[in-house]
Structure 1
Amino acid sequence: MGMLMRFLEVAGSRRAAVAVLAAITALYYLIVAITNCTDPHTNRRGVAAVFSMDKTIHDPSTDWHAIHNSTVVLIAYILIVIWEFSIAFVLVSATIAWVRALRPGANDKLAVRLSSLGWTMAVVLFLGGFLTIGGEWFRMWANKDVNASSAARQNFLVAAVGLILVHLRDPRPGSARVGIEPGGDEGR
C-alpha cells in the first residue's frame, strides 16, 4: 500500500501533470516544425495566401496590408519554423527538468522557468503571430482558402493551460513560488 501511495503521490501530482503536458506539447511542436521542413511547399503556400490577402474581403482601407513579395514570405516562413523548433527545444528541456523535479525534495524552479518560457513562446506565435497579425492584420479569419484561426486558438489554449498549471502554487518543499510572498519579496 505504501508503494502505491508513493506512486500516486508522484504520478498524480501537479509536477507530473505539467511534465506530461510539457512533453506532449514539445512533441507536437517538434512534429509541426519537422512537417514544415518536409512539406515546405504546402505550408509556404498557406503563409503566402494569408500575406497576399487575395481570398479575403477586399476594401481599400485594408488591402494595402497585403504582401506579395516572395522573399518576405520566405523569410516569415523560415522565422515561423525556427520559432517552432525553438518552442520544441525549450519544452523538451522543460520536460527533462520536470522529470528530475519529480524526485522527493527536488527543486522545480528550472522546470517552471523553462515551461513558462516555452508556453509563452507559443502564445507569442499563435496569439501574437497567427491570430493578431495573421488573423486581423491580414484578415486570415475571412480567407476562403487558408484560415488557420481555429488551429491558432487551439495552440494558444494549450499554452495558456500550461502557463496556468505551471504557475499554480505547489505546497511541496523545493517548489518554485509564484507571485509576491508575505514580506514583499518575489517568490523565485
Structure 2
Amino acid sequence: MNERRKVKRRICMVRLLKIVLMFCVSCWGFVGVLSNLMDYAPGLEQVRYVLSMEGAADTPGIEWRSIHSPVIATLGFAMIYLSKFATGTVCLFAAYKMFAARNDDTAFEAAKQWGIFGCGISVVMLFLGFIVIAGEYFEYWRVPTLGMITHHYAFIYTMCLMSFILFLQSPEKHTK
C-alpha cells in the first residue's frame, strides 16, 4: 500500500472515531433526559433539597442563600434535562453531518463545530449548574450522602466532554 493511502486511512479512522464519540455523547444526553423524565419526582426533590440548603444547615450564617420556591426548583431541574436534550440533539446532528462530510476536509471541519457546540452545552450546564451554583453557592459539597458524589460525577463528565472538545478541535494530520 502506498504512503498516500496509509495517510488517508489513518485520517479516516480518526474521523470515524470523532463521529462515534459524538454519537456516544448524544446517547449520554438522551439517556440522561430519559432518566430525568422517568425519575422526575426524585430528581426534582434533589434540586429542591439543594436549593433549600437543608444539607448545609450546620453552617451558620449562610441560610440567607437558600431558595424555597417550587417554581425555581422546577426551572432548575428543567434546565438540567433541557441541556441534556440539547446536547443529545446537537451531538447527534454533528455525528450525522460529520459522517456525511467524512471525505470532504472543509465540510468535515465545519461539521465538527456542531459537536464542539453540543459538548459545550453540557460543559456549561455541569460546571455552572453543579459545580458553581449547587456546589459553591448552595454548598452542596457539605451534604454527606450525595454532595461530594454529585460534585465528583459533574467533574468527571465535564472533563470527559472537555477532552472530546479538544479531540474534535484537533486537526486530522495530513502528511505526505
Q: Equivalent residue for 1:74?
A: 74
140-149 or 80-89: bigger deviation: 140-149
2:54 alignment partner AA: D
**Structure 1 residue aligned with 2:10:** 9
- 1:16 deviates by 1.9
The CA distance in 1 between the partners of 2:100 and 2:7, in whole Å, is: 16
Unaligned runs of 5+ in 1: 173-188
Return the TM-score normalized by structure 1: 0.81
- Residue 161 of structure 1 aligns with which residue? 163
Matched, 1:54 2:54: yes
Aligned length: 171
Compute the RMSD of aligned alpha carbons. 2.3
For residue 149 of structure 1, what is the amino acid of its counterpart? H
Counterpart residue type for residue 102 of structure 2: L
Q: Percent identity?
A: 18
Counterpart in 2 of 1:84? Answer: 84
Whether 2:158 is the aligned partner of 1:151: answer no
Whose relative contact order is higher, 1 or 2, with alpha carbons under 8 Å and at least 6 apart?
2
1:139 corresponds to: 139
> When you count helix as a share of all residues, which structure comes out higher?
2
Give the distance between the partners of 1:146 and 1:49, measured in 2 at CA.
Answer: 11
The Cα shift of 1:170 comes to 2.8
Match of 2:44 in 1: 44
Give distance in 2, aligned partners of 1:36 and 1:94.
Answer: 23
1:31 deviates by 0.3
Q: Unmatched 5+ residue regions in structure 2? A: none
Deviation at 1:79, TM superposition (A): 2.0
What is the letter of the counterpart of residue 167 of structure 1?
Q
SS of equivalent residue, structure 1 residue 68: coil
